[in-house]
Amino acid sequence: MTAERRCCEVAPNGRYIAAGCDDSRMYIYDLLSCQCIQECDGHSGGLSQVRWSPDQKQIISAGKDGCIIVWNFFEL
């Protein structure tokens, strides 16, 4: 990934990080394997905030495009 990260948050269980970037994508990293496990496309501008739901089943992202997206997260 070469895009600049603008925001990030660790999942409630401490295993994953959701990172919002200037390339309009959200990346999810597995901290145990140190790998990016998902690239999420949906915004048309850079992301300004990402938040995990308390039950870790959704991630909410807010973009500079004015959109808010709720992503479903399924742990493998």
Indicate which CATH number applies to the domain containing 34: 2.40.10
Q: What is the pLDDT of residue 5?
A: 77
End-to-end CA distance of the chain: 22
3-state secondary structure the chain: CCCCEEEEEECCCCCEEEEEECCCEEEEEECCCCEEEEEEECCCCCEEEEEECCCCCEEEEEECCCCEEEEECCCC
Q: What is the pLDDT of residue 24?
A: 93
Range of the domain at 67: 5-72
Q: pTM for the complete prediction?
A: 0.88
Give the total number of structural domains in the chain: 1
Question: Tens digit of pLDDT per residue, the chain (76 long)?
Answer: 567 878 999 999 999 999 999 999 999 999 999 999 999 999 999 999 999 999 999 999 999 999 999 999 998 7
Q: What is the sign of the dihedral through the CA atoms of 44, 18, 30 and 52?
A: negative
